[in-house]
Amino acid sequence: MYFRSFFDDQLAHMSYLIGCQRTGQALVIDPARNIEPYLETAKKEGFQITAATETHIHADYLSGARELAHHFGAKLYVSDEGDKDWKYAYVEHYDHELLTEGSTFSIGNIHFEVLHTPGHTPESISFLLTDKGGGANEPMGIFTGDFLFVGDVGRPDLLEKAAGVTGTSESGAKQMFASLRKLEKLSEFLQVWPAHGAGSACGKSLGAVPMSTLGYEKKFNWAFQIKEEEQFVEELLAGQPEPPKYFAMMKKLNKEGPALLRKEKTAKISLSEAGNAVVVDTRPADEFAAGHEAGTINIPYNGSFTNWAGWLLSYERDIVLIANPEQLADIEKSLQSIGLDQVTGYVDPKELGGSMERYEEIHADKAKRLMEDDQYYAIDVRNQSEWDSGHIPGAHHIMLGILPDRLESIPKDKNIIVHCQSGARSAIGASLLQSKGFKNVLNLEGGFDAWEKEGLPVKKD
């Protein structure tokens, strides 16, 4: 058996290529929309990708299953669990098989058995893998998707918070409790292969280790330690992070079938040709702060780029990028991974000029002095849990992802001081505020960390 995992650090997403070396067939599990890494690996190792499968309808990225089916004839193995709202609407156009509890299928001499493991979503399934070609007669591991992670379990509140399905958080948590009981019957030596690692918003405390064993998780994963359902539900629902806005769109597109990727090369343009598109400057925050075009927003191309693009960019509006030409292809792939396909052009940062805006970065001690003046208004753009653990007295909490929806509550006649935990998110917030007409914006350098380091007052509600 051939086993290869793939990790997208922008989305903290794990996917897998499993190949039968005797038959040359291969399967991709939970494929990303960019299927090039799977094709390159399959070609190098002498496999033909004949199938693709998913553990559930994903909310945090666009699936590559349709790309594999459409362009390469891969057979799709997808869940048929859950009610009518959780059925794949596009698979009837491709060779496919619907899976439920107890379903089995094989890729060459590699055998897969399906477990229905709802909780994160109603249709969620897991796959037990048995390498029959290697002489095994019982499973060696389980692909758990967003059900079981290293050190955590999938959050059950996304349907309610991101997709607007009222009242599903508690029922999902109860399903998660029942799904965990299924695993208690399985061998402890089973390897656990999840769909996400640390950094994903699909759980609250995912481990950074890419895989584990069931025995280890039973012993150290908090979710296995709580044996009483009511206590488990309370603990699971407490402290879940805010789900990015784009999650609802991902559920919709993955259910209906993501659009097939276009092949056209993005044209180089001037800013005057941007029209009504939102202009996203992908340069580092310090470069943007030192000088940028009015009306542009800064989402630096780093490990959190995709997350904040999903929070802050509209699927209904064209996008023009200010981007280093050498990074352009990677930036576009990151946007395409969450369905932001509408990039209509790019501008080379070397060609920026003319009248440039700036914003100032200030130290914590100066921020404290300024906040004593009624003409300054402080905004904390951190998550709710960060705010709850301690915040600057007098600051107003508006999480970065919902900042565009709260602009009317911010006084335009005052100077704005923006801060987060370290200064990175608030830099994005400062750019967003400037693009919306708040010209007197200051960013707290080092954020709340720097404030605490200076021994300045902290408030807890």
Residues 155, 196: contact at Cβ < 8 Å?
A: no
C-alpha span between 59 and 166 (Å, rounded)? 17
**420 part of the active site:** yes
C-alpha span between 234 and 88 (Å, rounded)? 31
Question: How far, in whole angstroms, is CA 230 from its chain's centroid?
Answer: 29
What does the block give as tokens for 439? Answer: 């010209």
Annotated catalytic residue, options 26, 57, 192, 420: 420
**Is 166 strand, coil or helix?**
coil
C-alpha span between 388 and 422 (Å, rounded)? 16
Residues 333, 309: contact at Cβ < 8 Å?
A: no
In sequence order, what E strands does 350-397 have? 360-362, 376-380, 396-397
C-alpha span between 325 and 183 (Å, rounded)? 48
C-alpha span between 263 and 257 (Å, rounded)? 18
Write the DSSP symbol of residue 357: B
User: Catalytic amino acids?
Assistant: 420
